[in-house]
Amino acid sequence: MSVTLYSAWYCPFAQRAWMALMHKQIGFEYIEVDPYQDSSWWKGVSRGLNLVPVLVVKPEDKAESATIVDSTRVLEYLEDLKPNSAQLFPSNPEEKAEIRFWMDHINQRIVPYIYRFLEAQEPGDYRNESRESLIVGIQQLMDNQYISGPFFGGKNINVLDLLLIPFAFRIDALLGYYREFSLPTGGKEWSRYEQWYNSMKNHEVFKKSQTHGEDYRQRLIEHYLPYSQGQGQQDVTKV
């Protein structure tokens, strides 16, 4: 089987797919692309969506490749491909349904508010509402999850850990830098969050998905300058 990941080093969505491949110990070729390029080649690779990540899989016994787009779909696919290796989902249907609820919560109630808060150059209602919604989104997640810790999956990571950590890092690095923001501390939810973040930040798959060595944080800050000026990608702010 050959597996190819089309990715962009700075992209938190692509980072999810990259980490999942490493976690499941699936060999793959990493191809760095500029997803904003307007070329017919890239349109073809990304099924007309022009977004990273794209995962292309060609099984040995099949003539056709499968192309999976969207980070959440990639993680689901990898679990289906290797259900018994480094499981990302629980096998119990009710627990799995619960996890899916929180996957949607991260994608719909947390991620867009990070981008909204970052793009809100001027103080005012939009910025305040984005900041408050982000805080509430994370608080709800940490309040409702029974985390025996340190990860959402307990001793081992699961899909929620992989969905959230690229964005948790950007809250810390980008919102810290551009908005002088830090999440609340103290209280049950925030102590859990802090414990989770510190563990996940040091997890090997997260560390291995960072480029530019020691400069990673600084390079990300530089990359997101246009976003902090309201000129970033717009669809990621939609709620």
Q: What is the DSSP letter of 65?
A: P
- Between 143 and 222, CB nearer to ligand GSH: 222
Q: Are 196 and 152 in contact (CB under 8 A)?
A: yes
Q: How far is residue 107 CA from its own chain's centroid?
A: 9
Which of 22, 147, 173, 236 binds ligand GSH (CB under 6 A)? It is 236
The piece of 69-77, 91-99, 146-154, 159-167 that touches ligand GSH (CB under 6 A) is: 69-77
Which of 9, 13, 117, 178 binds ligand GSH (CB under 6 A)? It is 13
Nearest to 53 by CA among 24, 77, 74, 84: 74
- Binding-residue pattern over the window 26 to 45 for ligand GSH, x denoting contact by CB under 6 A: ---------xx---------
- Between 72 and 130, CB nearer to ligand GSH: 72
Nearest to 209 by CA among 1, 3, 2, 23: 23
Instruction: Give the Cα separation of 231 and 131 in Å (integer).
Output: 19
Query: And the tokens for 99?
Result: 């996890």
Per CB under 6 A, does 70 bind ligand GSH?
Answer: yes
Per CB under 6 A, does 52 bind ligand GSH?
Answer: yes
Which of 7, 71, 130, 158 binds ligand GSH (CB under 6 A)? It is 71
Q: Are 161 and 197 in contact (CB under 8 A)?
A: no
Q: Are 141 and 111 in contact (CB under 8 A)?
A: no
Per CB under 6 A, does 51 bind ligand GSH?
Answer: yes
Per CB under 6 A, does 162 bind ligand GSH?
Answer: no
Q: Please state, in angstroms and as integers, the Cα–Cα distance from residue 192 to each residue in 37, 109, 144, following that order.
A: 40, 19, 11
Q: Which of residues 72-131 bind ligand GSH (CB under 6 A)?
A: 72
Which of 50, 130, 158, 209 binds ligand GSH (CB under 6 A)? It is 50
3-state class (DSSP) for residue 190: helix
The radius of gyration of the chain from alpha carbons, rounded to an integer in Å, stands at 18
Query: What is the total count of residues that contact ligand GSH (CB under 6 A)?
Result: 14
Footprint on this chain of ligand GSH (rule: CB under 6 A):
8, 11, 13, 35-36, 50-53, 70-72, 233, 236
